[in-house]
Structure 1
Amino acid sequence: MSKLYKKLSLAVALVIGTSPVLADTLLIKNVKGYTLDESGEIVKFQAMAVDDGKIAGLNPDTTQQYDRTVDGGGKTLLPGMIDAHGHLLGLGSNLLEVDLRDTSSVQQAVSKVAEYALANPAGEWITGRGWNQELWSDRAYPRASDLDTKIDDRPVWLTRVDGHAGWANSRGLELAGIDKDTQSPKGGQIVKDEQGNPTGVLIDNAMGLLDKHIPETGNEQLNAQLDAAGEHLLSNGVTAMHDAGIPHSVYDFYLRRAVEQTLPVRIYAMISATDDQLETMLENGPIRDADDFLFINSVKAYGDGALGSRGAALLEPYSDAPHQKGLMVTQPEDFPDLFNQVINAGFQLNFHAIGDRANRLALDQFEATFKKHGGQSLRNRIEHAQVVAPSDLARFSSLQVLPSMQPTHATSDKNMAEDRIGEDRMEGAYAWQSLLKSGIAVPLGSDFPVELANPFYGIHAAVTRQDRDNNPVKGWYAHEALSLKQAFKGFTLDAAYAAHMEDSLGTLTPGKWADFIIVDQDIFSVKPEALWKTSVEQTWVAGEKVFEK
């Protein structure tokens, strides 16, 4: 056990053990409240009592004395939303760096980068995220030469929207030592032109060739990223999130912020399986603070790439690229040691798998590990589970492996997914309803900053299978849509269950934390196409208002 961990653990214990317990009662009245009971059925209420940060009761006696009373003005009150898969500091970084999400051409992207560079002359590197060539008219990968026309004196590194590819200028490639003779690493690709020269785009494991040259993020920058991300999430009604893959440096950073009691949202953190301190962090055991702002109890492992960059590992070749079948970021021969190590340590294993081959390999290994070592009760997960062979869908339920899914991925991918895999393979793609019917919970999230963090965008996409322009008219493969209750449960109770936190989060039932939001419309009475328009007016965590519009 590291000295730093011992010191921080002691500090956490001291803070929790010596914090004064202040009796504080709160009444929220005159609301149109909705929550779920423990079986997942809708419960309605008009008032809610809170005692010392936790729910004391629904529809309580409103005539008794409370320390604080808030009139909800007839507004709709819901549990705080839980995003079951996001990247917290990635979101913070995205909010503070150049954002290319809405660019419609490579020229517009370059212009935005140039504007950012002009406004930030002191930065050693120019970094950003969000480009997506599928939204550009030519749908072609960008090139280093595009960036060179505007910025050639500083290295530029821009991550694709899905985080599985990056775009560098020539200065960035030069600093990383990437040239014509550089070979693509296993599980990655250096995209090269007809003459064999690197174009500037690096896919999956090849990104590491450049990433390692970017200066390490300092504590000041980490604080700025966390604060920016927390503020953004709270404004969107997200009170808890599952952080999908943190290195040891962030592990220590979160512990420090937990000691200071300054974590802005509740974090269920997944340790990155590729971190060289993985064994040490596993030996430290699970960490859960008494106020439930930090729970470290899982490991994020990486199977394949993403569909948009053709990195998702498929059983058969891509329909629009017959010579490609995707990439395995972690090699199958390494699965047994990794799965056994994590599960034998008592940690939940959350495995990134997008393509049908990656999903099958993960399910096969979970099955083999369970037979030899047990661990099925850990609520292990497959993150994304986007394209699954139809014959493998029922295996999630039989193995009790949770498919952690992101509804807006479907509405973002609808313009390219069928091109990538063809109509036949769509039978097992984004198959939310099929998985639920098989008897397994489906926790929902956004994968921010890949997608926008607003959970009502996710609920809308889950229910309508449409984008926010109501396309396609009848929904995209609409038979896989969720009911509103199912989607609501995915962002609340099922997300809490997927983090072993249903004892304290996910519903507004007595004894759980009073994490709730007040929104501007009743999501259970508006038309489905209007769900995404829901705006958060107030966010409360542990009975304290932390955001007001």
Structure 2
Amino acid sequence: MTTADEARAVVERLVLPGGVRLRGLAGDLCADGSIGSRTAALRAPYADAPEHRGHAYLTAEQVRDHVVACTEAGLQAGFHVIGDAGVDAVVAGLQAAADRLGEGAVRRARHRLEHVEMVDAEAVAALARLGVHASVQPVFDAWWGGPEGLYAERLGAERAEGMNPFAALAAAGVPLALGSDSPVTPFDPWAAVRACAFHRTATSRTSARAGFTAHTRGGWRAARDDERGVLVPGSDATFAVWQGGDLVVQAPDDRIQAWSTDPRSGTQGLPDLTPGVPLPRCLQTVVRGRTVHQA
């Protein structure tokens, strides 16, 4: 775990000769393990292994001390957490840090959680209040969700249905950043946006536009950079060129038809992400004006 002195030493190392500062991003301290290996820390035993509840690698006190040290040093803290008991410990630690430093200080630090797959309404509300960013992997649901998937096998259908509640997190104001956890799932951003919009649990779906934003601006915001992730005059020329079909305005769930399909509305279209429709193919990638990939 990080002490205050260690955190300050990290900050000092982020300054190059000439005073140029590097951006300090959170690490990925493991609060627990994974569902597949039955090491994610659970409140109740695994359905297919009643003697196991997984492993908690950090206590709430250890989480608190790390968050306090990082916050005071101006760094972002980050934790790998999947199971509901693991989330309990991390949320309790975050709240304890906020009790010590003030909620405003914790919010400004934009601490981050990786995966955060089993999170209930109370924890969602706490994460939103404390300004925590959720780095999530929607393809986990596409691969292992559903009534007959790995999650249902390990947890039972009822608990598995509540996994990865993207809509609830977004609705509460928890900023989402989509990713792949590559090489766990392939580096395939459109597949992640599709999996977010077509979550196996209908009530956990977001609109395609919300998923796209979480996979573009969301990653930069989770890195504490609010300026990147969009193409506007004066921004870095960082973009990808994709080959695909017609652009559509798509929300696969009747609850979230917030995007007008009327052309006069000016709502920007996206590729059709309906399962089974071929995903766009990347033709070119440009990073700050330099082509790094050309199909």
Q: Output the TM-score relative to the length of structure 1.
A: 0.45
Aligned equivalent of 2:67: 339
Aligned equivalent of 1:540: 286
Unpaired runs of 5+ residues, structure 2, are 248-269
Distance 1:285 1:344, change over 3 A: farther
Of 126, 133, 137, which aligns to 1:402?
Answer: 133
- Superposed displacement of residue 425, structure 1: 2.4
| 2:207 is equivalent to residue 483 of structure 1 | yes
Aligned equivalent of 2:76: 348
- Superposed displacement of residue 382, structure 1: 1.2
Distance 1:279 1:440, change over 3 A: closer
SS at match of 1:536: strand
SS at match of 1:375: helix
How far apart are the structure 2 equivalents of 1:410 and 1:283? 37
SS at match of 2:87: helix
Aligned equivalent of 1:502: 226
- Superposed displacement of residue 521, structure 1: 1.0
- 1:179-328 to structure 2, matched below 5 A, reads 279=7, 281-284=9-12, 286=14, 295-328=23-56
Of 412, 418, 432, which aligns to 2:152?
Answer: 418
- Superposed displacement of residue 355, structure 1: 0.3
SS at match of 2:177: coil
How far apart are the structure 1 equivalents of 2:60 and 2:234? 44
Distance 1:339 1:419, change over 3 A: same
CA contact (8 A) 1:315 1:356 kept: yes
Amino acid at match of 2:288: A
- Superposed displacement of residue 319, structure 1: 1.4
Report the identity percentage: 27
- Superposed displacement of residue 296, structure 1: 2.4
Distance 1:526 1:480, change over 3 A: same
SS at match of 1:367: helix
Aligned equivalent of 1:370: 98
Amino acid at match of 2:52: Q
Amino acid at match of 2:167: Q
CA RMSD of aligned residues (A): 2.7
How far apart are the structure 2 equivalents of 1:410 and 1:440? 19
- Superposed displacement of residue 459, structure 1: 1.4
Q: Which has the higher strand share?
A: 1
SS at match of 1:382: strand
Amino acid at match of 1:517: A
| 2:195 is equivalent to residue 461 of structure 1 | yes
- Superposed displacement of residue 527, structure 1: 4.9
Distance 1:304 1:293, change over 3 A: same
CA contact (8 A) 1:385 1:403 kept: yes
- Superposed displacement of residue 428, structure 1: 3.6
- Superposed displacement of residue 293, structure 1: 12
Aligned equivalent of 1:438: 172
CA contact (8 A) 1:457 1:532 kept: no
Unpaired runs of 5+ residues, structure 1, are 1-272, 466-475
Amino acid at match of 2:287: V
Aligned equivalent of 2:240: 517
SS at match of 1:348: coil
CA contact (8 A) 1:343 1:375 kept: yes
- Superposed displacement of residue 299, structure 1: 3.3
Larger Rg: 1
CA contact (8 A) 2:106 2:131 kept: no
CA contact (8 A) 1:288 1:295 kept: no
Aligned equivalent of 2:266: none
- List structure 1 segments (4+ residues) > 6 angstroms apart after TM superposition: none
Distance 1:325 1:514, change over 3 A: same
Which structure carries more relative contact order (alpha carbon 8 Å, separation 6+)? 1
Q: Output the TM-score relative to the length of structure 2.
A: 0.81
How far apart are the structure 2 equivalents of 1:331 and 1:532? 45
How far apart are the structure 2 equivalents of 1:309 and 1:296? 31
